[in-house]
């Protein structure tokens, strides 16, 4: 089935609230000491009601921001709003992103009762000094306590996020953090290399000379250490940044990497119908006010051209272990990568990057896309 003909079976909901902005964060968030749960859910209900047709969902993903800041009852009410507009399959993956300090026994039980069966924990590090530098609101021990609480509530599918390639001045022990994450026995681990965005505290520190980003050698060393440690522990390295126990790959994010249609609501949410990509206004207050006035919160849209689609086919294919089914011309361009051990060929003509190749993904994708546009 082509993407144009595919039904929309995936929904992303953006919950923008955070207690504070992390030092590296450039996402669309709304810092609130007290989360306006009723106000947000009222606006969200209006946007959900405006969706063009009822949805039948295989995945529902609550991201942010910090969705767990809505609490147990808030998440349950949000999912009720979704159910008023969509049918959620009994086998659906329903994910909530959570800060460890939001995971209480009461919240976890409410999430599970509402249908949540997967939680993505924003751990980032187990080093107290690093967590302080990141402006995280949890301490090192709260990740383990959150894992125990979620399992006690019946949520066994838990992912843990870690950030690598931090400035060397922090003296972060990356192998220790990887080992600490493994000791929790999660079903999934996501790794993100630190990027310095200009409009963040980290960006300001970098401009003033207070922070020097990690060099390429450190980035590669830490990425490959994680690959060897996690795959050695039985995880599948199935996408550049993601590792899963067998049977626990993130189904919602995998839909993005396959290029299928997905719906999205909330401030700054991006959606794709197979041909057109559109996105909402980013500021929470503007999104809320537009919906209160019965106006669309959509800020822009673009129709993917043939060239756009070709570029995305290459980039998305190379991101995962499914690989890219390649033409003779593409295989000829990739020959140096194959010879260097940065890629391999799966039968019959599928190009799959190795972990070392994933570190050079952008270069190969650009080369293949340029050749295809000629």
Over the stretch 9-37, which tens digit does the pLDDT of each residue have?
999 999 999 988 888 887 888 889 899 99
- pLDDT reading at 5 higher than 70: no
- pLDDT reading at 144 higher than 90: yes
Tokens of 13: 């909901």
* Mean pLDDT, residues 282-301 taken together: 97
What digits encode the pLDDT tens for the residues 250-288? 999 999 999 999 999 999 999 999 999 999 999 999 999
% of the chain surpassing 70 pLDDT: 98
* Mean pLDDT, residues 176-199 taken together: 94
89 class by beta-carbon count within 10 Å (0-12 exposed, 13-18 middle, 19+ buried): middle
CATH tag for 306-373 (out of 1.10.1200, 1.10.10, 3.40.1000, 3.50.70): 1.10.10
3-state secondary structure of 363: helix
Pairing of the two strands 298-303 and 276-280: antiparallel
Tokens of 238: 């199935």
Tokens of 217: 């050698």
Domain boundaries, the chain: 3-258, 306-373
Omega before 65 cis (within 30°)? yes
- pLDDT reading at 374 higher than 60: no
Number of separate helices (H) and strands (E) present in the chain:
15, 17
Q: What is the structure's pLDDT at 205?
A: 87
58 class by beta-carbon count within 10 Å (0-12 exposed, 13-18 middle, 19+ buried): middle
What digits encode the pLDDT tens for the residues 31-61? 898 999 999 999 999 999 999 888 999 999 9
φ/ψ of residue 190, rounded to 5: -115, 135
CATH tag for 3-258 (out of 3.40.630.30, 3.30.420.40, 3.20.20.70, 3.90.550.10): 3.20.20.70
- Angstrom distance (rounded) from CA 85 to CA 50: 9
Question: Which pLDDT band holds residue 199 (cuts at 50, 70, 90)?
Answer: confident
Contact partners, residue 2, CB within 8 Å, separation at least 6: 274
Tokens of 112: 């599970």
Q: Which residue has the higher pLDDT, 196 or 119?
A: 119
Q: What is the structure's pLDDT at 372?
A: 61
Angle at the Cα of 281 from the Cα atoms of 275 and 282, rounded to 5 degrees: 115
Is the distance from CB of 100 to CB of 121 less than 8 angstroms?
Answer: yes
Laid out side by side, the sheet with 298-303 consists of: 270-272, 276-280, 298-303
Q: What is the structure's pLDDT at 120?
A: 98
Question: Which pLDDT band holds residue 347 (cuts at 50, 70, 90)?
Answer: confident
């Amino acid at each position: 089935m082509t993407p144009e003909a595919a039904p929309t079976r995936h929904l992303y909901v953006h919950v923008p609230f955070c207690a504070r902005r992390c030092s590296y964060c450039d996402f669309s968030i709304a810092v609130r000491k007290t989360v306006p749960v009723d106000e947000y859910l009222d606006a969200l209900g209006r946007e959900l009601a405006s969706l063009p047709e009822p949805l039948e969902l295989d995945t529902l993903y609550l991201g942010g921001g910090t969705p767990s800041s809505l609490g147990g009852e808030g998440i349950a009410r949000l999912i009720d709003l979704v159910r008023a507009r969509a049918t959620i399959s009994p086998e659906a993956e329903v994910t909530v992103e959570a800060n460890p300090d939001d995971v209480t026994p009461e919240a976890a039980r409410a999430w599970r009762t509402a249908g949540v069966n997967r939680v993505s924990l924003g751990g980032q590090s187990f080093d107290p000094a690093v967590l302080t530098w990141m402006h995280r609101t949890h301490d090192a021990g709260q990740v383990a306590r959150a894992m125990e609480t979620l399992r006690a509530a019946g949520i066994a599918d838990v992912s843990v996020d870690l950030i690598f390639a931090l400035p060397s001045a922090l003296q972060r022990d990356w192998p220790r953090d990887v080992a600490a994450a493994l000791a929790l026995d999660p079903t999934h681990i996501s790794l993100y290399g630190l990027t310095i965005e200009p409009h963040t505290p980290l960006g300001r520190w970098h401009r003033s000379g207070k922070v020097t980003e990690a060099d390429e050698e450190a980035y590669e060393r830490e990425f490959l250490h994680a690959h060897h440690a996690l795959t050695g522990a039985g995880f599948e390295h199935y996408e550049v940044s993601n590792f899963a126990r067998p049977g626990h790959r993130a189904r919602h994010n995998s839909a993005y990497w396959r290029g299928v249609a997905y719906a999205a609501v909330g401030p700054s949410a991006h959606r794709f119908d197979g041909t057109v990509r559109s996105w909402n206004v980013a500021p929470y207050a503007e999104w809320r006010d537009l919906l209160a006035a019965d106006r669309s919160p959509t800020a822009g849209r673009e129709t993917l051209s043939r060239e756009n689609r070709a570029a995305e086919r290459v980039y998305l294919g190379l991101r995962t272990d499914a690989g890219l089914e390649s033409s003779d011309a593409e295989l000829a361009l990739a020959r140096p990568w194959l010879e260097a051990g940065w890629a391999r060929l799966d039968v019959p003509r599928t190009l799959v990057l190795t972990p070392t190749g994933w570190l050079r993904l952008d270069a190969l994708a650009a080369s293949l896309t340029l050749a295809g546009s000629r």
